[in-house]
Amino acid sequence: MQKNTEPNKQLFSGFSAPDTEQINRALAIIAQIPEDPHYYRPKGVEVAAILMDFNTDLKTILAAILSDPRLANLNPKPNIKEQFGETVAALVKDVNWLNKLTVYSLEMTDQPSQAETLRRMLLSMTHDVRAVLIKLAYRIQRLKVLPKESYELRRFIAQETLDIYAPIANRMGIHQLKWELEDMAFRYLKPQSYRRIAKSLSDNRVQRENCINNFIALLQTKLGEEGISAKIYGRPKHIYSIWKKMQRKQLDIDELYDLLAVRIIVDNLTTCYATLGIVHSLWQTVPKEFDDYIANPKENGYQSLHTVIIDAGGNRIEVQIRTQQMHDFAELGVAAHWSYKEGGKHDSAIEKNIASLRKLLEETSPERKEESDDVLSENFRSELFNDRVYVLTPAGKLIDLVKGSTPLDFAYAIHTEIGHRCRGAKVNGRIVPLTYTLKSGEQVKILTAKDGGPNHNWIDLNLGYLKTSAAIGKVKSWFRNQQQAQNMATGKAILDKESQRLGLKTVNLAELAKHFNQPDTDKLLEAIGRSDINSRQLAAFFKIPELEAASSALRPRSEQTVQGKKTEAKSVISVDGIDNVLTTLAHCCEPIQGNDIIGYISHKKGITIHRKDCENILHLSPEKQNQLIAVNWGAKKASYAVPIVIRAFNSQNLLSDVTQILAQAKIHISNAGLDTHPDFSALLNLTIQIENTGQLSQVLNKISQLPNIVDVKRKT
């Protein structure tokens, strides 16, 4: 039997007949939930009732009602998208996700950067900003029923409110919610301080009321004489903000001067300044306490004139002057957007507030251009931090990365050494490739080796291993350091060998470095290891003619001169499966392409290439046969099948353009598939035969430069 929905219907008066019919249908669904006397968590109807004070639109109210957690127990579950549309269904999905979010920990109170990252993650994963407003209302209701929870849970929820949700309400400009969230949370966290401040405010209420009433009466008279219509009333100071000021100024509540506050609401902007002039003419002012937030609005769009005066009794009174629209926006923030959009007026403060959502919690971010009018459409999509991704470590720490980042980027963000030794990753417990694109909210575990370093492929942008420039820089730095260390070791070995050959017991490295214009001995050894300083040059320094002559014989052919000109001899020999090894063709048998050949490792001439039937090879002693090495003429390159995927805006000529590039690069296509879509976009899957990663990178880069290409990458 369904519950009586009439009391709930009365909560949502003021909507048109068609809108009321939709609300009634939502209430009818809620009425199907069985009564449970032990259920005391927030209910959708209660949350929607809170939002009625914020001028929210129909879809927000419907989503608040239908995001009731108890709906998960209905069988069958209602099809919200079918009954109320895609926007309401998406809002409900976002709110349900926000209500189940369990990332916060009490340690974040002392880790401001982690709390900020969580706020950004929360907002980046919310597709519609109205879902955040509904979540804030859910938190208000959660705080109201918190006395029924355990002491530990009360403190946890209250601290989470102060660390995460009250700051979000503040930056969205919803001050009414912000103050309520702060005061309720403060009541649970510091009940004694809360009661003391509340009692002090209550004890002095009569005195404060008399002071405020005298101020209002005099000002109303003067404004009436000037023909100015205004609403004037005392503004209550909120308990948490009073406590914060007491802590900041190290004062007791009796020593605070600005517990008296008055708000003046007038018709238009010009009248704001006229009223300010009258206030300043009637009372003594405190110049340092004047702020013009109309000429210089706050980042969240807040506008008002603030001043502090001293009355005849020596009381300091804070005065705020604003228009009705400024007041609504200050109290309701983003929620006020729907109350003004029907009239078609796009106030600059509203525009600025919406733009500020993109910079939420980024106090130092550069000013961005105002949003276009379509941002004020009914489907107000949140694009907060859409260039970021927020993922968690196994310990629950949040890591903020560039959108498109991979597990390898995550590894380097944790620690450089973890990045270097990364060999695999698990996302939400599942093994994924290192090129996997991370999504907000995922938990990542890095699998590392005990030692080892990065792979050269990681810094090839076309292969998709790394997205962040910081991680790419760390990999490049590692290779530079490794190369430097390797060159130094090689240089030391060369120098030691030459010293032994000369019979030198010591070598003055500092003198040698100075001679070759090297800043220090490390750079000297590195230069020798790179062959920037060769054996002939060392021989010249030591002034040993025999060594210089021997060094000349030892020089590779690429350094020998013909008729005074340096010539470069490119090897067409593969030595033990390795290409580009410098070799010398033996003069005794003069092997040519097609002959069966073998290499001989000579102490003076490096690797000499002989024919296998060469007399000198056939008659080698058993000891010298150990110096033979397998060689081949120009080893045939192996090719590998590599799948790639290409996304394009337009399918026209896509396949022909891509195949032309591959044909020019002499790359064979072994498989191809083209998927086109109604919006003319296309997905082209190819399998190509590639010899090495350098060739793959080169061809992917060429394809990416074609018109209409969105991206091209190796398929994982």
557 has pLDDT over 50: no
Q: Based on the fold, state whether residues 204 and 312 are members of the same structural domain.
A: yes
- Which residues form the domain of 169? 6-189
pLDDT value at residue 610: 86
Percent pLDDT > 70 in the chain is 81
Q: Dig out the tokens for 142 from the structure.
A: 């959660």
Give, in order, the Cα–Cα distances in Å from 595 to each of 202, 601, 631: 107, 19, 11
Please indicate, yes or no, if residue 363 is contained in any of the structural domains: no
Q: Please tell me the total count of domains within the chain.
A: 6
Query: If you ran DSSP here, which 8-state letter would residue 578 be given?
Result: B
Average confidence (pLDDT) over 252-280: 85
pLDDT, tens only, 287-338: 888 999 999 888 777 899 999 998 888 888 889 999 988 888 877 665 555 4
- pLDDT classification of 565: cutoffs 50, 70, 90: very low
Q: Dig out the tokens for 547 from the structure.
A: 């060594």
Report which secondary-structure segment, H or E, holds 177. helix 175-189
The CA-CA-CA angle for residues 242, 246, 248, to 5°, reads 115
Largest separation between any pair of C-alpha atoms in the chain: 126
Q: For residues 648 and 613, give the distance between their C-alpha atoms in angstroms, rounded to a whole number.
A: 59
Q: Pick the residue with more confidence: 150 or 573?
A: 150
Q: What is the 3-state secondary structure (H, E, C) of 74-129?
A: CCCCCCHHHHHCHHHHHHHHHHHHHHHCCCCCHHHHHCHHHHHHHHHHHHHCCCEH
Please indicate, yes or no, if residue 357 is contained in any of the structural domains: no
86-100 and 58-66 are packed helices; what angle lies between their axes, rounded to 10 degrees? Answer: 50
Q: For residues 702 and 716, give the distance between their C-alpha atoms in angstroms, rounded to a whole number.
A: 20
Query: If you ran DSSP here, which 8-state letter would residue 369 be given?
Result: P
- What CATH number should be reported for the domain holding residue 142? 1.10.3210.10
Q: How many CB atoms lie within 10 A of CB 535?
A: 21
Q: Average pLDDT, whole number, for the chain?
A: 78
589 has pLDDT over 50: yes
Percent pLDDT > 90 in the chain is 19
Q: For residues 703 and 38, give the distance between their C-alpha atoms in angstroms, rounded to a whole number.
A: 63
Q: Based on the fold, state whether residues 16 and 145 are members of the same structural domain.
A: yes
- pLDDT classification of 599: cutoffs 50, 70, 90: confident
Q: Based on the fold, state whether residues 208 and 233 are members of the same structural domain.
A: yes
Q: For residues 158 and 320, give the distance between their C-alpha atoms in angstroms, rounded to a whole number.
A: 30
Q: For residues 680 and 686, give the distance between their C-alpha atoms in angstroms, rounded to a whole number.
A: 19
Q: For residues 265 and 232, give the distance between their C-alpha atoms in angstroms, rounded to a whole number.
A: 7
Closest by alpha carbon to 460, among 234, 657, 698, 295? 698
Q: Based on the fold, state whether residues 286 and 401 are members of the same structural domain.
A: no
Which of 42-46, 90-94, 118-122, 274-278 shows the lowest mean pLDDT across its residues? Answer: 118-122
Q: Based on the fold, state whether residues 14 and 102 are members of the same structural domain.
A: yes
pLDDT, tens only, 182-229: 999 999 999 998 898 888 877 777 777 888 889 999 999 999 999 999
Please indicate, yes or no, if residue 565 is contained in any of the structural domains: no
Q: Based on the fold, state whether residues 264 and 324 are members of the same structural domain.
A: yes
Q: Which of 432, 467, 502 is the last residue of a domain?
A: 467
Q: For residues 652 and 682, give the distance between their C-alpha atoms in angstroms, rounded to a whole number.
A: 9
Please indicate, yes or no, if residue 248 is contained in any of the structural domains: yes
45 in Cβ contact with 68 (< 8 Å): yes
Q: For residues 225 and 675, give the distance between their C-alpha atoms in angstroms, rounded to a whole number.
A: 76
Q: Based on the fold, state whether residues 494 and 429 are members of the same structural domain.
A: no
Q: For residues 192 and 189, give the distance between their C-alpha atoms in angstroms, rounded to a whole number.
A: 9
pLDDT, tens only, 391-410: 989 888 888 888 889 999 99
- What CATH number should be reported for the domain holding residue 671? 3.30.70.260
Q: Dig out the tokens for 268 from the structure.
A: 């238009």
* Summary count for the chain: helices (H), strands (E): 29, 23
pLDDT, tens only, 426-469: 999 888 888 899 988 889 999 888 877 888 788 888 888 998 88
Q: Which of 607, 633, 659 is the last residue of a domain?
A: 633
Q: Based on the fold, state whether residues 161 and 225 are members of the same structural domain.
A: no
pLDDT, tens only, 337-371: 544 443 444 444 444 444 444 343 233 333 332 33
SS3 482: helix
Please indicate, yes or no, if residue 238 is contained in any of the structural domains: yes
Q: Based on the fold, state whether residues 157 and 209 are members of the same structural domain.
A: no
Q: Which of 440, 467, 494 is the last residue of a domain?
A: 467
Please indicate, yes or no, if residue 472 is contained in any of the structural domains: no
pLDDT, tens only, 627-664: 888 888 765 556 677 889 998 877 777 888 888 888 88
What is the sign of the dihedral through the CA atoms of 291, 294, 295 and 297?
Answer: positive
Q: Based on the fold, state whether residues 32 and 134 are members of the same structural domain.
A: yes
Residues facing 672 on adjacent strands? 686
Peptide bond into 7 cis (omega under 30): no
What is the residue type of 211?
A: C
What is the residue type of 386?
A: N
Residue written as tokens 């103050």? Answer: 179
Please indicate, yes or no, if residue 286 is contained in any of the structural domains: yes
Please indicate, yes or no, if residue 51 is contained in any of the structural domains: yes
Q: Dig out the tokens for 72 from the structure.
A: 């998960």
